[in-house]
């Protein structure tokens, strides 16, 4: 097998695997790994209020230390394809950049690890176990993907000792950051009811917007915490305010707002929900509120595993990466309940954008770093 990481990434990009349509991406990857001697377990899951998802688990070796790479082959929609400089699912290389949906999030990293695993095995594999947990449901519901595969892995004695998730972890350049945790995510849906009426007769109406604005202003001004050793302070952002009112002379009967918190390890979801209700009740209990629990915060405390990854990154970039928890949520939040997990990949500045890309040089460097991690882990 002579495919480079670039070859593999280009092939993966050609499959328009917008969640939850696999479109053949995992079949291609499974064939590649099967030729290397990996045992493949097809693990499609459905139900639990979500759509069917294609997933698989591949493992080489059964004894000794076990390192798992977790990644996803699904991508977000490309948007207006006419706005792209090249077709989003062509996998074209222009001016040293691989352009395509998923190039950096995260088919590039999946390709880099597949190539690194092959190179490691062919260079004199001696002991240990390498596995890949690949899902098709990271970019959307995340219900029948990684979480379900991990349940299966536990049931069948496949839980690894350590895991690396191939999210693009660097904001600007290779070696800048590895993620050792992520903030939690909590979304609140706030409704305030009033009484509709004419703006010229406010005494005959009850404007719900007046209370809604006060609720939101108080929440926004609240200092929930000052952060911790590896987490920035908890932050609340108001994302929508809506009345469904198109008339300028009508006081609406109802007003709604949505807000999202990205929270530190100072909070649990339950404690944060209680705190928010306490704040709102202090103004007035005349509201309705429901929550969507997006993710819990998690942290892999710096230690042997995080240090090994940082050393491998530094060896190939000349930069000692910072250990951070910034950014959005990822499937690492599920893995964290089973084993130490870190995230490392390429640069994320173009993810989900038109003309998403990764530098070919970064792809090659990422492959070398993954190979270095394998060599250092299986000493």
Q: What are the residue numbers of the active site?
A: 74, 138
| ∠ Cα 14 18 22 (to 5°) | 70
Cβ atoms of 68 and 131 within 8 Å: the answer is yes
In the chain, what's the furthest Cα-to-Cα distance?
Answer: 83
Q: Please, are residues 174 and 366 in contact by the beta-carbon 8 Å criterion?
A: yes
Contacts of 243 (CB under 8 A, 6+ apart): 208, 209, 252, 254, 255, 256
SS (H, E, C) 145-194: CHHHHHHHHHHCCCCCCEEEECCCCECCCCCCEEECEECEEEEEEEEEEC
Q: How many CB atoms lie within 10 A of CB 82?
A: 6
Q: Within 13 Å of residue 314, how many CA atoms lie on the same side as its CB?
A: 11
Q: Find, among 155, 145, 86, the residue nearest to 357 by Cα.
A: 86
Distances (CA, A) of 260 to 189, 226, 276, 299, 300: 9, 18, 12, 21, 24
Q: Token pair of 319, please? A: 């930069």
Q: Quick one: how many helices (H) and strands (E) in the chain?
A: 9, 21
Q: How is residue 242 written in tokens?
A: 């809506």
14: its two tokens? 């050609």
Rounded to an integer, what distance in angstroms lies between the CA atom of residue 316 and that of residue 116? 14
Angle, helix 5-13 to helix 25-36, in steps of 10 degrees: 150
Beta bridge partners of 293: 186
Residue 136 in 3-state DSSP? coil
Query: How far from each other are the two terminal CA atoms of the chain, in whole angstroms?
Result: 25
């Amino acid at each position: 097998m002579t495919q480079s990481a670039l070859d593999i990434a280009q092939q993966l990009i050609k499959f328009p695997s917008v969640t939850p349509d696999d479109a053949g991406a995992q079949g291609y990857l499974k064939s590649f790994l099967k030729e290397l001697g990996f045992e493949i377990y097809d693990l499609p899951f459905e139900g639990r209020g979500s759509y069917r998802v294609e997933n698989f688990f591949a493992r080489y070796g059964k004894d000794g230390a076990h390192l798992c790479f977790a990644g996803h082959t699904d991508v977000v929609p490309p948007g207006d394809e006419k706005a792209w400089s090249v077709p989003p699912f062509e996998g074209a290389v222009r001016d040293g950049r691989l352009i395509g949906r998923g190039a950096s999030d995260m088919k590039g990293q999946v390709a880099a690890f597949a190539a690194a695993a092959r190179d490691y095995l062919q260079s004199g594999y001696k002991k240990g176990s390498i596995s890949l947990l690949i899902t098709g449901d990271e970019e959307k519901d995340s219900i029948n993907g990684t979480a379900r595969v991990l349940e299966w892995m536990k049931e069948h004695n496949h839980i690894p000792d350590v895991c690396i998730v191939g999210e693009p972890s660097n904001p600007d350049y290779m070696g800048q950051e590895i993620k050792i945790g992520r903030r939690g995510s909590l979304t609140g849906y706030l409704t305030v009811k009033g009484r509709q009426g004419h703006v010229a007769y406010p005494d005959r109406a009850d404007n719900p917007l007046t209370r809604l604005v006060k609720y939101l202003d108080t929440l926004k001004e609240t200092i929930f915490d000052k952060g911790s050793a590896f987490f920035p302070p908890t932050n609340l952002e108001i994302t929508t305010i809506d009345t469904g009112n198109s008339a300028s002379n009508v006081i609406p009967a109802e007003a709604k707002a949505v807000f999202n918190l990205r929270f530190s390890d100072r909070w649990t979801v339950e404690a944060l929900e209680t705190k928010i209700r306490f704040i709102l009740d202090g103004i007035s209990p005349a509201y309705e509120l429901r929550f969507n629990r997006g993710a819990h915060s998690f942290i892999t405390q710096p230690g042997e595993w995080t240090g090994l990854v940082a050393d491998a990154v530094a060896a190939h970039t000349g930069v000692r990466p910072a250990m951070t928890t910034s950014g959005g949520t990822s499937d690492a939040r599920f893995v964290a309940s089973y084993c130490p997990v870190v995230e490392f990949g390429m640069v994320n500045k173009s993810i989900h954008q038109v003309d998403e890309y990764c530098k070919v040089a970064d792809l090659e460097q990422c492959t070398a770093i993954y190979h270095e991690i394998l060599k250092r882990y299986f000493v």
